Structure 1
């Protein structure tokens, strides 16, 4: 049986991804910063819960020990992420972005991905078919953000897209370093979740589709790629 850990999985895209993978027969760990919320989410889904704050070394190390004690890990989905917004849920643009805001965003979205991936690498490397899925964004596509005829062109924020572009590069470098693994980044689409104040235009069911698909990629499947539900997308 495939064992999967999803960070930030007590709600939103992470929760829907967990629901779908439990239905597909995976043993799923709901990684949640809040242990109580994670436990409740896991109970609802028939999953397992593990307290996991991606910004905290001790929390991640403890999560590794818990998952290892139960048998190991095959699939890691780095889903936890933040998009800090201003008053009235407004995106913080270039005029107002600060180094502190960038640092805070990168701590979760970038350093969190590295922290968790690095910590779980020993378990993943023991798996017969290890998979890593990094949840990115279409806003990470330099090709799209610089193309005036795309919706992403008008997005004014700096911190969030910069962090997700970094995640894309991290994904490529990890994929080259570990060719025996399938390591990809995905763009769920503009999904209505707490992250964006539920301003997204699609459901979590729609958004989770590409995450679930790439979590189940076969050993002969793609690696080092960037995908949305329609297929590969430009960097």
Structure 2
């Protein structure tokens, strides 16, 4: 199967329930956020602290209003991110993801990754002494993809490592795809 066929197959075989969507946000956004907050003092103690969030191109939302708000790095706040996540869960529970333009397929995963991308940019702005970036490792053969990906974990991991090893004082608040800086939205 090609990429599109694999994603269609995954979609047909992994319908989300409200509880799964809520757990997905707890894992992919809040869990990551809490680990970052716990480790932040250690990163700040480093002479060249780096934080690389494993993201996904699926976090690039299609809703123009949401994209604009999440891409407004000067004005987006953690509080607003959490309001948006609460709004998503309420819409999901009501069966109204289409009403506000939330993604229908892999909804919670996409929304959580978009929120993590925005949170990474907030951190980059708040902590200019750190290098805070996001990277899309590609469609990797893992449990989450039911091993349907094109890349081995080593191939996907090499993309994350490449961003972690960028030169000291380099870019921060960026999104990387295929070893290059790319757009968040």
TM-score normalised to structure 1 length: 0.54
State the alpha-carbon separation in 2 of the partners of residues 214 and 230 from structure 1.
Answer: 7
Equivalence for 2:26: 107
Return closer, same or farther for 1:155/1:103 CA change in 2, 3 Å cut-off. closer
Q: Residue 207 of structure 1: SS of its match in structure 2?
A: helix
The question of 1:91 aligning with 2:14 is answered yes
Offset at residue 215 of structure 1 (A): 1.4
Return closer, same or farther for 1:88/1:130 CA change in 2, 3 Å cut-off. closer
Aligned positions of 1:1-12 closer than 5 A: none
Runs of 5+ consecutive residues of structure 2 not aligned to the other structure = 1-9, 64-102
Offset at residue 177 of structure 1 (A): 0.3
State the alpha-carbon separation in 1 of the partners of residues 11 and 134 from structure 2.
Answer: 30
Equivalence for 2:159: 210
Q: Give per-residue Cα distances to partners, 1:49-79, cap 9 Å, x unaligned.
A: xxxxxxxxxxxxxxxxxxxxxxxxxxxxxxx
Across the two proteins, how many residue pairs are aligned to each other? 137
Equivalence for 1:191: 140
Structure number having the greater helix percentage = 2
Out of 40, 53, 58, the residue aligned to residue 139 of structure 1 is 58
Structure number having the greater strand percentage = 1
Offset at residue 230 of structure 1 (A): 3.9
How much is the aligned-residue C-alpha RMSD, in angstroms? 2.5
List 4+ stretches of structure 1 deviating above 4 A. Answer: none
Runs of 5+ consecutive residues of structure 1 not aligned to the other structure = 1-86, 145-153
